[in-house]
Amino acid sequence: MNKLLSISIKEVNQKIYGSAVRPSEICKASIKLTSIVKPLNAYITVTSDVAEEQASAADERQQKNSLLGQLDGIPIAIKDNYCVKGKPTTCASRMLANFSPGYNATVYEKLRMQGAVLIGKTNLDEFAMGSGTVDSLYGPTKNLWGSEMLPEFYSYGSDGSQVTTRKLHEKDAWHIAGGSSGGSAVAVATGTCYAALGSDTGGSTRNPASYCGLVGLKPTYGLVSRYGLIPLLNSMDVPGIFARTVDDAVLILNAIAGPDQADPTTVQREYVPINLSETIDISNLRIGIPKEYGVQGISEEIEGCWAKVSHLLEEAGASVVPVSLPHTDYSIVCYSVLNRCDVASNLACYDGIEYGHRADEWGSAHELYKKTRSEGFNDVVKSRILVGNYFLLAENYEEYYVKAMKMRRLIAQDFDVLWNNNVDLLLTPTTLTEAPIYDEFVQLDNQTQCLIQDHCTQPANMAGLPAINVPIELSREGLPLSLQLMAPLFHEQRLLTVAKWIEQTVRFPRLELKNSCLLE
């Protein structure tokens, strides 16, 4: 069973269809594994009751030869800012610590209807405001890579050579998982589920996927419904997908994409499922290398990865060309302004009367609001609300919000120029380094870290583009190094095809569970 938790969705689906294993057996092993990896703090809520009920229903369909498809009986997890009916949806905040919605987010409902088994709700930075999953009411999430748990419970599969991960000298030292969807990333990396949903506003799926050695897909804005996703930035939020392989990410995307009458921001046209070939020819592609992404602070190893994959693409016949996105340096500042404006607006309803936590205050409505919001939000959230309200003041509106929106248009036009000049894809770093050590990461405040961590990822959100993180190799310290691909709007087929080619070519080392007695 330990081997089964380490393989792809396609492989385990074949075993389910062949009756080699029952969904309830996989579910039981997944739930037990969540307890083993609990020190990493990937989950806020393990939904064992829901999982067992769903797996039992999958068992019945298996016996009747009426399985619902490739996701039937497959354990998945979702970030705890998606609504699940009757289950806590906390956004890792005291403000929503006791909130259980009366409906399901569309993406979860679609997965549920295809037989997926919900193992749990995963940890995040409070209200998804962070890039490390260190600012959660429930504590930080720790990366599996570089942890003491890695050599104890995991070995490297046949995909890659054995490496030695650096042993940190201090017992309590550990690497961050990335954020804000770090819990979902660690849930997949540890094998407690086969895929997970995150959200991606400025890189919150691709960043932790990079640090945890996973495929992390951000679809085109509007391709996947946001209904039931508690918003951060309405015009940039996109449901993101974590998986171990590109093919697994495609299976999840095919399950959740498409129009939704409950979400008017979805594109109201039929979604055509993506199917990737095993044999891929990239010789007719033109791939751009934007010079603005080679910024100060990028590590030598990430630069080496970037150059290595560029060379591999050229060797395979692709045309790899230097390009420029001249407004990139303004993008992160523009994103920061729009982020705070949307935060101030979206969180205004959490006042102790309409939604969320209510303080024990009876003096006046003003005192109730003040105490409720002071108690309910952490300092990071309160800071963004205050700054956003400042930007939205009548005397500041034109100077900040309107200018930022104009700059956003210029950033999007930079990409359009490249696509119109026959550039098919862009290849960039995802993060500038391998996963930082927690103690070093928190030396900088949340805002400064987001400026660093989101540099390569947030332009895709600004322009609404699809983007994907692909793990490439392990660093000298034994930590994942990854790269990002970006494509024109709604060109997921092209994006995922090249991502799969890179995956096949670099053969990133895969982790397998060992010590099978743990899961007996």
Strand partners, 154: 513
**Rounded CA gap, 47 and 466, in Å?**
31
Please answer whether residues 240 and 198 qualify as being in contact, where contact means their C-beta atoms are separated by less than 8 angstroms: yes
Q: What Cα–Cα distance (Å) separates residue 160 from each residue in 209, 278, 508, 512? A: 18, 20, 6, 11
**Residues 6 or more apart whose Cβ sits within 8 Å of residue 275:** 250
Longest Cα–Cα distance in the chain = 72
Cβ neighbour number for residue 170 with a 10 Å cutoff: 8
Tokens 């045309």 locate to: 319
**Residues 6 or more apart whose Cβ sits within 8 Å of residue 77:** 42, 43, 118, 119, 120, 121, 122, 183, 184, 187, 188, 192, 193, 196, 197
CA dihedral 209, 510, 123, 55 (to 10 degrees): 120
Please answer whether residues 3 and 189 qualify as being in contact, where contact means their C-beta atoms are separated by less than 8 angstroms: no
Which is catalytic among the residues 147, 180, 184, 336? Answer: 180
- For residue 255, the Cα-to-chain-centroid distance in whole angstroms is 17
Which is catalytic among the residues 8, 24, 48, 79? Answer: 79
Cβ neighbour number for residue 384 with a 10 Å cutoff: 24
79 as an active site residue: the answer is yes
28 as an active site residue: the answer is no
Tokens 């036009």 locate to: 413
DSSP string, 318-363: -EEEEE--TTHHHHHHHHHHHHHHHHHHHTTT-SSSSSS---S--S
Write a three-state SS string for 78-147: EECCECCCCCCCCCCCHHHCCCCCCCCCHHHHHHHHCCCEEEEEECCCHHHCCCCCCCCCCCCCECCCCC
Instruction: Write the DSSP symbol of residue 200.
Output: E
Angle between helices 106-113 and 246-256 (to 10 degrees): 100
Which is catalytic among the residues 204, 336, 475, 482? Answer: 204
- For residue 292, the Cα-to-chain-centroid distance in whole angstroms is 24
**Rounded CA gap, 250 and 113, in Å?**
17
Tokens 């990239």 locate to: 282
Q: Side by side, which strands form the sheet with 117-122?
A: 43-46, 117-122, 75-79, 195-200, 238-243, 215-218, 467-474, 480-486, 425-429, 286-290, 319-323
319 as an active site residue: the answer is no
286: which 2 tokens?
Answer: 């033109």
205: which 2 tokens?
Answer: 């799926």
Mark residue 464 as left, alpha or beta (left: phi above 0; alpha: psi -120 to 50; beta: remaining): left
Indicate which residues carry an active-site annotation: 79, 180, 204
